[in-house]
Chain A
């Protein structure tokens, strides 16, 4: 089997654009949501962690008939960063694939057209064409896939990207996730009573739901043989283990015993060959939704013995908000940085930790102790994915 290395990273989020801005933001551990600048957002809590206006990519505008919305532009920008970071030279186009996870795609573009009018005639513009836009930008001719498993979309997408390399169908996959503001998504979460009025505060005793964020996290995944042959400048980590499961329980609520998320975590750890003592950090799904955080905490205790002072969790959503289909990709970018820099950044100080969530959330930076990092992502429909990254050079 071909090993899968992460040789390039690109990121744009509430913290700004670029890997340096991302790590500086993680280290500073401060952020706040704001009101969305949409006069038609008629809802009680029109809040989110948006990408700063100054960092929004202004283009590209279109490829052929395909008009790019904000989600596609975020993805192209992060992909361009990742490809540059990887120092990727000439690769035969048919050996390069693209896999993007996104929950809402370019829904925001259609919402803009609904109120401002479509700028001109043209064919129907599919909502889920973010991967197509990245494929056109790069000129990649391998598989091109859009995965839309809601808040776990990019976790499944990264898994499928790894499969393409492991099976020998691609040498390089530009993979990740992207999510932009959607009025419909935010309105529906308001209607479901799932928005926290203050901030995204996973594992907090007083959490009242989640808050959305915008962003894109993109990676260059590459076979180890290909990376070695071209003398790739670095490898941030190896994508060493993948675990999937489905609760088959409820449309929106997690299965309360966590039996299927346990199975996904154990599969991923076993595939990576990671013992529980070797896991140095967990980037949890942790959304701030009451039952989700409790169940995930309990399972982490069972699987890893995370306890209140053993394996540190890095609770990314407390800083970026819940970036939906991009969340697992952004969590994987963070985990790769944690392994590469051998440092767990400080968690955001949110308030009082829920005694039902017995997990370790250090609020000061810690040196990493362990060769592996675990990333969890869960979604509506009971879709569960765990990924295990391992420190690895080229």
Chain B
């Protein structure tokens, strides 16, 4: 399939596998909505979660995403044959992150300043490049269509869902692994109290493919991103503009009657927001009916809410998130006829 054939009818993708790794829970519903006791510093044992060899020198966010991916693939229950190049070339991945590399970069920089570049570890030196945090999975699972890394503040996980799905519609793949991974910020950084550690991975397959192999999905998950400049959000017209953008994004996802109709017909809204003027404009546009969840420093919390909602999806759910920098995104979750529960 080529791009010219495809954009007229986007591929109907269904989430068939969910993987979640957090310090407090790995079950999607508990990870999204349960209590969050602070985990021990060594909460993630890479030997137990990934294997005895080959993972020691990978940064934490890479390890978390590999573990979440394994969960998601096992959950999807698909059986693949090794060495099938055509199959490998139809599988793509898109990973979102904001803070996966911050602590590592800080540590590297302090080493350079104090001792010089020769004191850096050659094993971790390649990880100055943020895309390597989400790329080991392509090697491990032979994903040869593409391996995107998206990094917009807070919305990067939704951005991964959006860009990945659009790339499937463009004919570059017919199977998608999308998600987000984050590592904690150094303690001295502003925002470290809201640090995120963990990963979410989702497997998305064309509905027809899933049916043909006898699988059942959790539901559809379609994302759109957009932007409202902080100054505009802080203006008296900010909430109205945010509302218009949300309505347009919903229309783009096949819900043309907008937010009012969505909530009026029983749709549930979850808002993952910080304390910024952009978030305030979005909160005002969503109204008091939205369940509000405090955003973390990075892009993980919106994906946790998506994973939790998908795992127990009785009806449509809209997850909306916004960043202080102006990035906005939403994910519309809708059940499929033959739905599975998480």
Contacts and interface: CB of A to CB of B under 8 A. Distances in A.
B122 interface: yes
A237 to B, nearest CB: 17
Interface string B131-149: 1100110110111111111
Interface string A79-116: 00000000000000010001000011101001100110
Nearest to B106: A114
Chain B residues touching A, range: 35 or more
A187 B109 CA distance: 8
A154 to B, nearest CB: 13
Contacts of B294: none
Interface in B301-342: 323-327
B336 to A, nearest CB: 23
Nearest to B107: A184
Nearest to B252: A169
Given A114-B106, A263-B89, A380-B132, A147 B147 contact: no
A383 interface: yes
A332 interface: no
A7 B245 CA distance: 26
Contact of A144 (B112, B120, B143, B225): B225
A160 B109 contact: no
B17 interface: no
B130 A148 contact: yes
A389 to B, nearest CB: 15
B149 to A, nearest CB: 5
Contacts of A63: 229-231, 325-326
A191 interface: yes
B324 A65 contact: yes
Contacts of A131: 152
Nearest to A255: B144
Contact of A127 (B8, B102, B125): B102
Interface stretch (A14-22, A132-140, A355-363): A132-140
A191 B118 contact: yes
Nearest to A260: B144
Interface residues of A, number: 81
Contacts of A145: 150, 152, 159, 163, 225
Interface stretch (A213-221, A243-251, A334-342): A243-251
Interface string A202-232: 0000000000000000000000000000000
Contacts of A124: 185, 189-192, 194, 297
A244 B172 contact: yes
A44 B120 CA distance: 13
Contact of A1 (B4, B244, B248): B4
Interface in B220-266: 224-232, 234, 241, 244-245, 248, 252
B131 A148 contact: yes
Contact of B115 (A42, A94, A98): A42
B268 interface: no
B151 interface: yes
A158 B29 CA distance: 37
B234 to A, nearest CB: 7
A132 B128 contact: no
A392 interface: no
A380 B130 CA distance: 10
Interface string A27-63: 0000000000000111110000000000000000001
A163 interface: yes
Contacts of A260: 144
B113 interface: yes
Interface string A360-394: 00000000000000000001111100000000000
Nearest to B8: A1
Contact of B131 (A1, A149, A182): A149
A187 B108 contact: yes
Contacts of A153: 131, 149
Contacts of B287: none
A247 B147 CA distance: 10
A183 B150 contact: no
A148 B277 contact: no
Contacts of A140: 227
Contacts of B130: 103-104, 128, 148, 150
Interface in B135-177: 135-136, 138-139, 141-153, 156, 159, 162-163, 166-167, 169-170, 172
Chain A's interface: helix, strand, loop or mixed, by majority?
mixed
Contacts of B10: 167
A191 B125 contact: yes
A312 interface: no
Given A167-B166, A383-B146, A128 B125 contact: no
A66 B324 contact: yes
Given A123-B191, A139-B232, A146-B150, A160 B128 contact: no
A185 interface: yes
A185 B128 contact: yes
Contacts of B292: none
B34 interface: no
Contacts of A234: none
Given A65-B276, A148-B131, A150-B129, A167 B117 contact: no
Contacts of B156: 128, 146
A136 B129 CA distance: 26
Contacts of A115: 113
Given A160-B163, A192-B125, A383 B147 contact: yes
A164 B163 CA distance: 10
B3 interface: yes
Contacts of B8: 1
Given A144-B327, A246-B143, A383 B131 contact: yes
Interface of A: 1, 40-44, 63-66, 94, 98, 103-105, 107, 110-111, 114-115, 121-124, 126-129, 131-132, 135-136, 139-150, 153, 156, 160, 163-164, 166-169, 182-185, 187-188, 190-192, 242, 244-252, 260, 263, 270-271, 379-383
List of 7 A-B pairs having minimum Cβ-Cβ separation, nearest first:
A64-B230, A124-B191, A381-B135, A128-B151, A43-B117, A42-B116, A144-B227
24 contacts: A63-B326, A65-B230, A98-B227, A111-B109, A114-B106, A124-B297, A128-B156, A132-B227, A135-B326, A136-B326, A139-B229, A140-B227, A141-B227, A144-B152, A144-B326, A148-B130, A149-B148, A163-B7, A163-B170, A184-B109, A188-B128, A191-B118, A248-B143, A380-B126
